[in-house]
Amino acid sequence: MSGGALVAYDIESTGSVDVLDAGGTTHTVVSGWPAVSDPQLVRKPDGTIFLYFGGSTPDLKTQGALRFASIDGGASWSGPVKTNPASTIGDVQASALRRDGAPLFSQDGTGFVNVYQGDNGGTLRNDFNLCCGYNESLAVDTTGLAQLAFWSNATGKSGYMYEKLDEAGGATAAPVNLAAGTDAQASPSINRLPLVAAGAGNTFMAWPGARHVTIAALGAGKLRRKFATGTAGAPRQVALAVEPDGTKLWVVWTQGKYLWATRLRDAAHAATPIVVRTPLPAGRTPYTLEAVGLAGQVQAVVNVSGTPGNTLWRTQLIPGLAANTSRKPKPVVKIRDDVAPVKGATLRGGGKIAHTNAKGLASLKGFKRHALVKVTKAGYFGTSFRVT
């Protein structure tokens, strides 16, 4: 949505599925149902928004994965439409959109990770028939390749699994554990294994480790590289998001009392992460995390513990700056955003002011030794350094 994101969630205690719009207004889709479960949203090329969730109507006559539709940006909803007869009332774990506008959505359970294709999920493929696959995500890259990621504890096929899908949503080969050889958590607390498609045919998958979030960069379904972002401890929840320009990747995670994030400008080839953070609500525990990339920022939605019940908490983070100084041959500082130089950053310290040029460089001539210099630029979380 322009300027924000829609958030869909269920409340089992009231049998409700609600949608929170970008302005913070809640729109109730259903209420008082005997069964509801986690929903997913997709937006069709014509602007129609589809909402999928597993549930049962009050008369018990319509059950399974159901579809609602909105043509006014989520303010009102029509439905339900029953999808594939084999669907269940369980969570709809993931969704994505084919280039031709055909939705993909999924459910998992004992012996299946089912991927449905089409507005009403008419095509069904079981892409993991072992016990068991969980926490899946779907993504379609800019070449049209559909992909599936999930966590598995199946004997002989455990780990953080990745599959390429064919035109009907079926797996083209056995799943591959991309986390092999990393410090991946054996039993993750993630609500969903992140998988997102960016521009230029790139796809990114991430998983939590002991003291890292590891990201796999893929192109045309092939692993190009793996790299890790250090964390202060074991991350709980992890999410990925891509800004609308299709190039900048956000990595977001919860750990300790904070929500952490870093923006990578060219994650497919290089990255020098600059991590920013913001406190989580005091005394709350984060249980689920989702994120969406907006222009120049990321919006994160966290389900945190509350009294009574749980509470959705939403916040936005902007990228950080980094400063690297040198004294030879002349005293200068370079200000960067990930791997890119930042032009027009302002340096203030000890009564002196300077600005960075197109190469991100600013002279430190005239700044007193040991002076604390603060660096600011609109749209960035600032940094500081001392002149050496």
Question: Per DSSP, what are the bridge partners of residue 254?
Answer: 259
The per-residue pLDDT for 22 is 87
CA distances from 98 to 8, 146, 167 (A): 21, 7, 9
CB atoms inside a 10 Å sphere around CB 186? 8
The per-residue pLDDT for 352 is 96
Sequence-distant (≥ 6) Cβ neighbours of residue 160 within 8 angstroms = 149, 151, 177, 178, 179, 184, 193, 205, 207
The owner of tokens 């319509």 is 62
The per-residue pLDDT for 202 is 97
For residue 83, give the amino acid letter: T
CB atoms inside a 10 Å sphere around CB 181? 9
Residue pair 260/291 in contact by the 8 Å Cβ criterion = no
Percentages of the chain per state (helix, strand, coil), in multiples of 5 = 0, 55, 45
The per-residue pLDDT for 3 is 59
CA nearest neighbour of 301 among 206, 191, 220? 191
Q: Tokens standing for 109?
A: 């359970």
The per-residue pLDDT for 306 is 79
Q: Tokens standing for 55?
A: 């549930």
Question: pLDDT per residue over 18-63, tens digit each?
Answer: 999 988 899 999 999 999 999 999 999 999 999 999 999 999 999 9
The per-residue pLDDT for 54 is 98
Residue pair 5/22 in contact by the 8 Å Cβ criterion = yes
The per-residue pLDDT for 388 is 87
Question: pLDDT per residue over 325-337, tens digit each?
Answer: 999 899 999 999 9
CA distance 206 to 215: 4
Q: What is the largest CA-CA distance in the chain?
A: 79
List, for the chain, all residue ranges whose pLDDT scores fall below the cut of 70.
1-3, 308
CATH of domain 7-317: 2.130.10.10
Instruction: Give the global pTM.
Output: 0.96
